[in-house]
Structure 1
Amino acid sequence: MASMFLIIIYLAFISLGIPDSLLGAAWPSMRTDLGASFGFAGIMSMVVAGGTIVSSLASGSLLRRVGAGKITLISCLLTAAALLGFSLAPSVIWLTVLAIPLGLGGGAIDAALNHYVAEHYKAHHMNWLHCFWGVGATLGPIIMSYFIAEHNSWRNGYSAVSKIQFSLVVILFVTLPLWKRIAAMKEIEQARHPQDQSRPDSEITSYRGNVFQIKGVKPTLISFLFYCGVETTVGLWGASYLVGARDMSAETAAGWISLYYGGITIGRLITGFITLMVHNRVLILFGQIVAIAGGLMLLAPLPSLFLIGIILIGVGLAPIYPGLLHETPARFGREHSAKLMGYQMAVAYTGSTLLPPLFGFIAGRTSIGLFPFVVLAFLICMLMSVEKVNLILNKQKEGQSLTGG
């Protein structure tokens, strides 16, 4: 039953990924119909991100009061309604208003599902969970391009996605009792077979105050900031770098960036199997090394090398985000997991919202040629933050060993 229930969770994460990629695919048609400026999509994107950050910050207390199942159901209903509103919106003002519930719902779903999987399933399921987000993000533009090409209507594209979301709402409503039942089954299973768990129950369990005062929390949040910063920066500005600094055609550059996203998605599928044999921390470190190697290859003069570097960055990033999320209960205690998961989501979305525009501002006043150096700087900051947390945890373990704990 627990394995079958994962299908519902995976479907929910696919549905989370689909809306994330719709706006970019639909905007050329939307702005013409609505008379909007080219840059207004950036404002809408920031409104969505703002809603996501707010709901992520509130998710810890909401999860304790309402539970992951109800949060996912309500949030999915919220996003479905917002997407339906997009299909009917008469102006960009309405789109901006509807972007608020879209962001609030998306952030709550993200935090709730990540917390539930980190608490009750092993590491490979977390990697596959985020792999399915990539599936959804890939399907979004395909759905939208079909309706624009065949029906000349971006509104029909949003309407179709809203119907997918409403279908999931029905599934979530019918299966709502399973959330607590599966969680209880997993608790019993972990109690009976603690040796089979992919991680210890907790490495830091004694702290009862402000979670920001727990050793390792602040550098962990910094690592999430720079992870999402670099992932989004490469996705947003990688093609511009290939065109502006490497004299590549726009079509070819776009193809290589799609391979970058493919590297993340396929990498998570593969690392899901590898986590059955290798610990999360080893995979996280290996992924960071591969990503940094890819960043260094961006500086190579040969096209074959800097293009491979783009793909390597994607492959290297693949295990880092789901791995860090899955380690949350093990690192900081299950009693802090729900709240910290929300904070991590909020900081991650802050990184993806602020760091790429910051680089764009700098590049616009200097040169797009700074792209590899900024990518490397983000990757190195992330590596240093993650390793600082590992150092803190290792010292904690040594202290417990010396005191007989």
Structure 2
Amino acid sequence: MVSTALLVMIYLSFISLGLPDSMLGSAWPAMNVSLNAPLWGAGLVQMLISFCTIISSLNSAKLIRRFGTGKLTAISVATTALALLGFSLAKNYAFLLLMAVPLGLGAGAVDAGLNNYVALHCEAKHMSWLHCFWGVGTIIGPMILSAVLRVGGSWATGYRAVGLIQCAVSALLFATLGMWKRGNIQQEEHGAKALSVWEVLSLPGAKAGMVTFLCYCAVESTLGLWGATYISQVRGVDEATAASFGAMFYIGITVGRAISGFMAMKLLPKQMVRVGQTLLALGCIFMMIPAGSTLSGIGLVVCGLGCAPIYPNIIQDTPVNYGAENSQAAIGVQMAFAYVGSTFLPSIFGALAGVGGYGLLPYFAIGICVLMTVLFGIQKKIVETEVKTN
């Protein structure tokens, strides 16, 4: 078990990880005008961030063997801080794309490293609460930006403020590196296997497990991006009401993860995932029923509550599924699959909706949910058979 002080630092790191994740969408209406960037340009920036996050996630095991989790986290937060300050200094779109590279590289290393550390050393409840705090960060980031804009500041000032907060978190992480220097932690980090992607995928149940994770992130990001549009376009409500339901989807995820932490004291991670999958499917069914906008909005919120326990509990079970010595490499590959799902599937749905209409959203989401549920069952069966055999 980790000390309370170290746990606080891990929670703080995850809040800082969430701070910039939702800022780009909030700031883009102002950014694209001042930078003379195309309206669709935010998508390219986000894709570049995701691509760099995938690269650092896949290399997380090697990086942790070299630097250790504590030092890598401090360096990575410092890297994201400098990238955010770079955003605030951008005078053109090309410089923004350049700064997206360190932002993605830093975020991926923090995400993969801390997820593995908590999965190995903390109770399951802390994994849910950790991701709840990430959600808190995603709420605070746009709030800071909004507050700056209200008092007459610019989007650049908002990014600078968040960048300075990240600098302070990084300085605190460097100042407290001694908390990570327990002998058994360092020995474990150096003993972790730096497996290739193909070696990870050859582990029992890994192929099904990775695609399960991709499916989850695809559902969450697709509903998050298009949910409000579905309620507005298909159910015919005004844009402000639709936007409020869209926000409640993310609030549902954040609040749901706070609740999931308490549920994790009684239920196993695989049971928590099943609860989430059931709620997610139920929310999609509510959205399908043509009984007015309210039920569809409630369905979107239920989807958020269903999403809440899935991600953290799949991560929590990684050392059990693939072995503690393989878990860092496995989590790195999981993060890569996660970003592939969250980057490309919403765009694929957008293309489908352009042909068949936004009414396809709950059917698209429940289809991926069913695939995720089937693959999760296959993975657990393979893993449990392997454990019995050995």
TM score, norm. by length of structure 1: 0.91
In the TM superposition, what is the alpha-carbon distance from 1:212 to its structure 2 partner?
1.7
Does residue 105 (structure 1) correspond to residue 67 (structure 2)? The answer is no
In 2: Cα distance, 1:115 partner to 1:184 partner: 12
Partner SS state of residue 19, structure 1: coil
Whether the 8 Å contact between 1:281 and 1:323 is mirrored in structure 2 is yes
Q: What's the counterpart of residue 202 of structure 1?
A: none
Q: What's the counterpart of residue 21 of structure 1?
A: 22
Supply the AA of the counterpart residue of 2:203: I
Q: What's the counterpart of residue 88 of structure 1?
A: 89
Whether the 8 Å contact between 1:240 and 1:368 is mirrored in structure 2 is yes
Partner SS state of residue 230, structure 1: helix
Supply the AA of the counterpart residue of 1:134: G
Does residue 242 (structure 1) correspond to residue 204 (structure 2)? The answer is no
Moved more, 19-28 or 175-184: 175-184
Report the identity percentage.
44
Supply the AA of the counterpart residue of 1:82: A
Q: What's the counterpart of residue 192 of structure 2?
A: none
CA 1:110 to 1:182, structure 2 compared with 1: closer, same or farther past 3 Å? Answer: farther
Whether the 8 Å contact between 2:276 and 2:308 is mirrored in structure 1 is yes
In the TM superposition, what is the alpha-carbon distance from 1:305 to its structure 2 partner?
2.5
Does residue 366 (structure 1) correspond to residue 360 (structure 2)? The answer is no
Moved more, 96-105 or 302-311: 302-311
CA 1:235 to 1:357, structure 2 compared with 1: closer, same or farther past 3 Å? Answer: same
In 2: Cα distance, 1:233 partner to 1:252 partner: 19
Give the count of matched residue pairs. Answer: 379
In 1: Cα distance, 2:48 partner to 2:151 partner: 30
Q: What's the counterpart of residue 57 of structure 1?
A: 58
Does residue 305 (structure 1) correspond to residue 306 (structure 2)? The answer is no
Q: What's the counterpart of residue 219 of structure 2?
A: 230
Supply the AA of the counterpart residue of 1:349: Y
Does residue 264 (structure 1) correspond to residue 253 (structure 2)? The answer is yes
Query: Which of the residues 392, 396, 402 maps onto 2:382?
Result: 392
Give the alignment of 1:281-360 within 5 angstroms. Answer: 281-303=270-292, 304-360=294-350
In 1: Cα distance, 2:152 partner to 2:183 partner: 43
Q: What's the counterpart of residue 70 of structure 2?
A: 69
Quote the RMSD (CA, aligned, Å). 1.6
Give the alignment of 1:94-173 within 5 angstroms. Answer: 94-173=95-174
Partner SS state of residue 358, structure 1: helix
In the TM superposition, what is the alpha-carbon distance from 1:182 to its structure 2 partner?
8.5
Q: List gaps (5 residues or longer) in structure 1.
A: 188-208, 401-405
In the TM superposition, what is the alpha-carbon distance from 1:185 to its structure 2 partner?
11
Partner SS state of residue 214, structure 1: coil
In 2: Cα distance, 1:182 partner to 1:299 partner: 54
- The C-alpha deviation readout for 1:106-150, integer Å capped at 9, x for no partner, is 111111110111111111010000000000000011000111111
- The C-alpha deviation readout for 1:145-175, integer Å capped at 9, x for no partner, is 1111112311110110011000011100011
CA 1:52 to 1:185, structure 2 compared with 1: closer, same or farther past 3 Å? Answer: closer
Whether the 8 Å contact between 2:49 and 2:103 is mirrored in structure 1 is yes
Partner SS state of residue 215, structure 1: coil
CA 1:215 to 1:318, structure 2 compared with 1: closer, same or farther past 3 Å? Answer: same
In the TM superposition, what is the alpha-carbon distance from 1:336 to its structure 2 partner?
0.5
Q: List gaps (5 residues or longer) in structure 2.
A: 189-197
Partner SS state of residue 329, structure 2: helix
Q: What's the counterpart of residue 382 of structure 1?
A: 372
- The C-alpha deviation readout for 1:196-236, integer Å capped at 9, x for no partner, is xxxxxxxxxxxxx9222111000110011111100000000
In 1: Cα distance, 2:184 partner to 2:366 partner: 40
Whether the 8 Å contact between 2:119 and 2:316 is mirrored in structure 1 is yes
Supply the AA of the counterpart residue of 1:99: A
Whether the 8 Å contact between 1:329 and 1:337 is mirrored in structure 2 is yes
Whether the 8 Å contact between 1:120 and 1:183 is mirrored in structure 2 is no
Whether the 8 Å contact between 2:57 and 2:336 is mirrored in structure 1 is yes
In 2: Cα distance, 1:130 partner to 1:144 partner: 22
CA 1:76 to 1:371, structure 2 compared with 1: closer, same or farther past 3 Å? Answer: same
Supply the AA of the counterpart residue of 2:374: M
In the TM superposition, what is the alpha-carbon distance from 1:183 to its structure 2 partner?
5.7
Whether the 8 Å contact between 1:120 and 1:186 is mirrored in structure 2 is no
